Amino acid sequence: MLMDQNIDKKIYEVGWEVINSSQFDNLKILRNNIYKIITEEFNYNEQNPEIGLNNFHKILSELSDTDLNQKKVNVIQKISSDNSLVDLIFESFAKEIEEMLGKDLLVQKTINLVIQAPKDLNPTIPHRDAPPNSYFELVLWIPLVDCKDTKSMYTIDMSSTKNALDELEKNPDDWDSFINKFKDKKNYPNVKFGQALFFLPYIYHGSDTNNTNETRFSLNIRFKALFSPSGKKFPLHFFRLFKVSELTKLALNKIKDEGLE
Ligand SMILES: [Fe+2]
């Protein structure tokens, strides 16, 4: 019976949910810090992060593809090497993350940053992260600007994911009918800055060409319970220990004291 508790949460039913940050100030600090890295790298002098990020495509047209890719890589490296940014993400959604995963946590080593300019022809095809990732991961997609419609990403509910997988099993080589199954099943959650889309790694998701006239900036990162099964990838390549409960801390120290590690 205990296993039926908490089923009221939308994410447990459909596989995704938009969650409000309980620490909006932390998200603002996060965005300011990331914006500073971006403006320095791109020599961008717009002061207001919201205006600057939404209109970022206006400076992209002045850059060659090689320059743009190099600058993107530099920004992602700088963001990912700053662990305080991960702390800000966690603190912004700590209550919900701990409610879902507990207090012994791993976090993905890199924070992914995705820039999707209007009409950018590099959408992400529908895919699931698990497998090969662990089914026990929780994915957080955090926009730095308000996102809706095709400026947002899309999710496919748990039940439609199952139907699509059944279709794939029947016709494993028929990619078109598989894609057709998704056509009218895409949800483009309305996710404002101050919120995050939480989703389960085994639902299909992706993004289409951004048909709005604003650029989307979004972060994504994964959390996982420390004592949960790994996926097919070696976990410590992608995750690092993030937080442990008092009980786990005591037990780990005790094991070390007694020479059992
Ligand atoms: Fe994904």
pLDDT single digits (tens) 27-76: 999 999 999 999 999 999 999 999 999 999 998 888 888 998 899 899 98
Q: Which fold has domain 10-156+190-257?
A: Jelly Rolls (2.60.120)
Going by pLDDT thresholds of 50, 70 and 90, the confidence category of residue 183 is: confident
Provide the whole-model pTM.
Answer: 0.92
Distance 83 CA to ligand 1 centre (A): 22
Distance 202 CA to ligand 1 centre (A): 9
**Phi, psi for 156 (deg, rounded to 5):** -120, 125
261 close to 246: Cβ distance less than 8 angstroms: no
Q: Where are the alpha helices (DSSP H) in the chain?
A: 10-14, 24-42, 49-54, 57-60, 65-80, 83-92, 94-101, 158-170, 175-182, 235-238, 246-257
Distance 175 CA to ligand 1 centre (A): 18
CA dist., res. 119 & res. 78, Å (int): 27
Domain-wise residue ranges, the chain = 10-156+190-257
Distance 104 CA to ligand 1 centre (A): 24
pLDDT single digits (tens) 81-95: 899 999 999 999 999
